[in-house]
Amino acid sequence: MPGDLILVLDEGTTSTRAMIFTAAGLQLAVAQRELIQHYPAPGHVEHDPAEIWDKTLGVAQDAVRQAGGAERIAAIGITNQRETVVAWDKAGGQPLSRALVWQDRRTAAQCGQLRAAGHEDAVREKTGLLLDPYFSATKMRWLIDNEPQVAAAAAKGTLAFGTIESWLLYNLTGGAHLSDASNASRTLLLPLEGASWDAGLCDLFGVPSRALPEVCDNAGPIASTSPDLFGRAIPICGLAGDQQSATIGQACLNPGDCKATYGTGAFVLSNMGSTVPRSANRLLGTVLRQLGGQRHYALEGSVFVAGSLIQWLRDTLGIISSADETARLAASIPDSGGVTIVPALSGLGAPHWRPEARGAIAGLSFNSGKAQIARAALEAMSHQTHDLARAFEADDAGWTSLRIDGGMSANDWMAQDLADILRLPVERPDYVETTALGAAVLAALGVGLYPDLESAARSMRGPARIFEPMMEDGDRRERLTRWQAAIASV
Ligand code: ADP
């Protein structure tokens, strides 16, 4: 009789982690390794798929050891950076190129051409997405057009495309080619209301449908690991893209419940129930979860640059030595002294969608030092979130509170500033790794430790702290006016 622990594989953009959770949602163990980011040209961002698998297996085996062996694991849940594309050969399982990461902008021109040819409305109607390089389909086509090994495998019929969960599943199981509906809904190839890939969309983007995985539920008996990896076959029972997983980990189970995750980028998802979301304000419609073939949807706003701005201050400019130093610096001054940062370092996502925009630091004076810049960087998170809040409101999906999580949400100064600028209560669970927790919830549900999603998510989510708005309205208005001027200038 196996134990009742859950192994979660959390495949982020900057690191891969394996975590052990109890059935009550407590984290018992974690093993983590950084992933190498490859930037071969401006706007190009790549990962090495072999490195992802090797490090994932390494941390998974480490976590299983820490848990006391594979017998103690009831099920595996996987959550992952979405949209990133891996191409491999079904014949030998070898990757055929580097993975193109969601941040990669190299297909901007291809997207522009499709937009100019008038395809965007139909694509949006079917998939809930826009023609932006962020999504997977144009990346897949780019690989066929530019990587001879990918083209050769496509011609032979042995090409496999997948997002990261699909690549991990393939390796964990020794050959299953699957993708869950939440990840599949980020490719531009899955209709929000269709069970599988759309032939017309595959044609439009030039992606051979036989290279694509089978679309499956987010929880249930999805597959099993090869016995040799952990000493016994462990069932894989939960699978979800990182943002959908965090939404579940935050127990945003009812229509209107809304969360924002601040990691490398920032992602706001609002539960829309079984209503297919249609945004008139350039937000995205996405599959939140599919259970027993039944879908629930979310309206999503994706901001490309959040924690990566802090990383840039630390690693490229070198003006801070750690990310959490920003909170102390921001609190050390009464305001940013007029400094405003537009974090468009890799273009602007929702609701602006301007891939060609680039970042700016406005309002510099001789009085501007690292405290002003650090503060402006954190303030930019509230400004970007505020723009999303307005767009959700305009789509009749206004927020009444916001649940936050992700590595950056540990920053108390930012959490308070968000509450102030949004004029809403901001709720942060004590345990902020809600992305991993969501995958644990799905796996616990999928293996039968709980009878339904509601009881799994509510039992496994811990206590939270609430930040209430306190800022004077004049200060708030001044901040937003400065932001609007700065963003209009980039
Ligand atoms: P991902 O899952 O996208 O890899 P994480 O959720 O682990 O990202 O968050 C890491 C990001 O959060 C990094 O970009 C880092 O710069 C930022 N970050 C972490 N802690 C803080 C902090 N205390 N203040 C500001 N930013 C932070």
**Residue at 56 is within a domain:** yes
46 vs 484: CA distance, rounded Å = 32
Burial of 66-84, coded b for 16+ CB within 10 Å and e otherwise, reads ebeebbebbbbbbbbbbbb
214 vs 209: CA distance, rounded Å = 10
Ligand 1 atom at minimal distance to the Cα of residue 311? 16
Ligand 1 atom at minimal distance to the Cα of residue 306? 14
Residue 32 confidence (pLDDT): 96
Helix residue ranges, H only, 364-472: 370-394, 412-422, 434-446, 453-460
Q: Write the Ramachandran bin of 29: left for phi over 0, alpha for psi from -120 to 50, otherwise beta.
A: beta
Confidence of residue 114 (pLDDT cuts 50, 70, 90): very high
167 vs 83: CA distance, rounded Å = 12
The CA angle 19-46-346, to the nearest 5 degrees, is 100
Helix residue ranges, H only, 147-276: 148-156, 164-173, 181-184, 199-205, 227-230, 242-249
Q: 303 - beta bridge partners?
A: 266
Structural tokens at position 373: 């810049």
pLDDT tens-digit profile of 356-394?
899 999 999 999 999 999 999 999 999 999 999 999 999
**Residue at 19 is within a domain:** yes
* Percent of the chain residues topping a pLDDT of 70: 100
CA of 490 to the centre of ligand 1 (A): 25
CA of 342 to the centre of ligand 1 (A): 18
As a whole number of Å, the CA-based R_g of the chain is 21
> Does 1 have pLDDT greater than 80?
no
Tell me what the mean pLDDT of segment 160-172 comes to. 98
Q: Is 324 exposed, middle or buried (0-12, 13-18, 19+ CB in 10 A)?
A: middle
Structural tokens at position 449: 């430790």
Q: Is the peptide bond before 351 cis (omega within 30 degrees of 0)?
A: yes
CA of 409 to the centre of ligand 1 (A): 8
Contact 188, 136 (CB under 8 A): yes
**Residue at 450 is within a domain:** no
Determine the distance from the C-alpha atom of residue 337 to the mean position of all C-alpha atoms in its chain, rounded to a whole number: 33
Residue 353 confidence (pLDDT): 83
264, 382, 418: residue to mutate for ligand 1 pocket, most atoms within 8 A of CB: 264
Start-to-end C-alpha separation, the chain: 60
**Residue at 413 is within a domain:** no
Q: Is 29 exposed, middle or buried (0-12, 13-18, 19+ CB in 10 A)?
A: middle
Tell me what the mean pLDDT of segment 257-281 comes to. 92
Sequence-distant (≥ 6) Cβ neighbours of residue 203 within 8 angstroms: none
Of 164, 339, 155, 332, the closest CA to residue 241 belongs to 164
Of 405, 401, 394, 448, the closest CA to residue 424 belongs to 401
Of 322, 345, 267, 324, the closest CA to residue 39 belongs to 345
Q: What is the residue-wise DSSP string for 55-103?
A: HHHHHHHHHHHHHT-GGGEEEEEEEE-SS-BEEEETTT--B-SPEEPTT
CA of 309 to the centre of ligand 1 (A): 9
**Residue at 93 is within a domain:** yes
338 vs 473: CA distance, rounded Å = 17
What is the total residue count of the chain? 490
Of 219, 213, 245, the closest CA to residue 82 belongs to 245
**Residue at 107 is within a domain:** yes
101, 408, 434: residue to mutate for ligand 1 pocket, most atoms within 8 A of CB: 408
Tell me what the mean pLDDT of segment 398-405 comes to. 93
**Residue at 313 is within a domain:** no
Q: The pTM is what?
A: 0.89
Structural tokens at position 219: 């929880």
Of 295, 326, 306, the closest CA to residue 413 belongs to 326
pLDDT tens-digit profile of 19-51?
999 999 999 999 999 999 999 998 899 999 999
310, 326, 405: residue to mutate for ligand 1 pocket, most atoms within 8 A of CB: 310
Confidence of residue 2 (pLDDT cuts 50, 70, 90): low
476 vs 420: CA distance, rounded Å = 7
Number of structural domains in the chain: 1
Tell me what the mean pLDDT of segment 69-98 comes to. 96
β-pair type (266-271, 294-303): antiparallel
CATH number for 220? 3.30.420.40
Residue 354 confidence (pLDDT): 87
> Does 318 have pLDDT greater than 80?
yes
CA of 316 to the centre of ligand 1 (A): 16
CA of 410 to the centre of ligand 1 (A): 8
* Percent of the chain residues topping a pLDDT of 90: 90
CA of 185 to the centre of ligand 1 (A): 25
Mean pLDDT of the chain: 95
Name residues contacting ligand 1 (CB within 6 A). Answer: 12-15, 263-264, 307-308, 310-311, 323-324, 326, 406-408, 410-411
Residue 349 confidence (pLDDT): 87
Ligand 1 atom at minimal distance to the Cα of residue 15? 4
Contact 158, 177 (CB under 8 A): no
Describe the chain by its helix, strand, coil percentages, rounded to 5.
40, 25, 40
Tell me what the mean pLDDT of segment 333-349 comes to. 94
185 vs 240: CA distance, rounded Å = 11
**Residue at 221 is within a domain:** yes
Contact 379, 405 (CB under 8 A): no
CA of 113 to the centre of ligand 1 (A): 35
Ligand 1 atom at minimal distance to the Cα of residue 242? 2
Residue 256 confidence (pLDDT): 85
Residue 304 confidence (pLDDT): 87
β-pair type (294-303, 340-342): unpaired
What is the residue range of 144's domain?
5-242
Residue 284, amino acid = L
Sequence-distant (≥ 6) Cβ neighbours of residue 270 within 8 angstroms: 252, 256, 257, 258, 298, 299, 300, 392, 397, 399
Is the alpha carbon torsion for 127, 131, 135, 136 positive or negative? positive
346 vs 311: CA distance, rounded Å = 14
In 3-state terms, what secondary structure has residue 429? strand
CA of 407 to the centre of ligand 1 (A): 4
pLDDT tens-digit profile of 218-233?
999 999 999 999 999 9
Residue 156 confidence (pLDDT): 96
> Does 434 have pLDDT greater than 90?
yes
